[in-house]
Chain A
């Protein structure tokens, strides 16, 4: 099965600092999803990447998928307390069915 490794497991930054979260797969990614979760709540979709080399941005968050489609990064510019939460990368395995699995997540704390 597809294994997704996220790093770091947790991250504490000062408000205004930039940060990067990484997601690495043991297999080629056919679809890579980034979600954010507040403690005790459901997952909120951030971005989806499908093509090698693809990059998407929304407000201060940028996600990239490398050319080999085995690694993705999520970059936050000028972090704010509202960015705090758990960031999870999810991926779809290949084949005819849509098996969506996730990494263990990165806990982000942004100190004012």
Chain B
């Protein structure tokens, strides 16, 4: 398996634009996590899914953020409209039950 795949690796967008981040988890994994990493706040859990169902979205900062998992092999994190303070590295991770989580390489988002 190629591991957790995130796209794009880098995204630069203007304030107010819609941004969509994509994640393909490892095949067979039943948990998927979205994290945001900044220098100030570290690695924050935004939302996680179990069997494609959102379990806890208490980390999603605002209504501008939304996440979906239409099937077991794909998830998206959308920001609409984007703001400069959303600039961060966004990570997706997947795991099989209560085992270790594998992380993607991240998407570096810059909102100007």
Residues of A within 8 A of B (CB): 1, 31, 33, 35, 40-45, 48, 88, 90, 92, 97-105
Residues of B within 8 A of A (CB): 4, 31, 33, 35, 41-43, 45, 48, 50, 55-56, 58, 89, 91, 93, 95, 97-98, 100-106, 108
Main SS class of interface, B: strand
Q: Given A42-B91, A45-B102, are A98 and B97 also a contact pair (CB < 8 Å)?
A: yes
Partner of A105 from the list B4, B42, B50 (CB cut-off 8 Å) is B42
A-B contact count (CB 8 A): 58
- Measured in the bound complex, the distance between the Cα atoms of B91 and A48 in whole Å is 20
Closest 7 CB pairs of A and B: A104-B42, A42-B103, A43-B103, A102-B43, A42-B105, A45-B100, A101-B45
- Measured in the bound complex, the distance between the Cα atoms of B101 and A109 in whole Å is 25
Chain A residues, CB < 8 A from B100: 33, 45, 48
Q: Can you name 20 A-B residue pairings with CB atoms under 8 Å? A: A40-B89, A40-B108, A42-B105, A43-B91, A44-B103, A48-B100, A97-B55, A97-B56, A98-B48, A98-B50, A98-B95, A99-B48, A99-B56, A100-B48, A100-B93, A100-B101, A102-B35, A102-B42, A103-B42, A104-B41
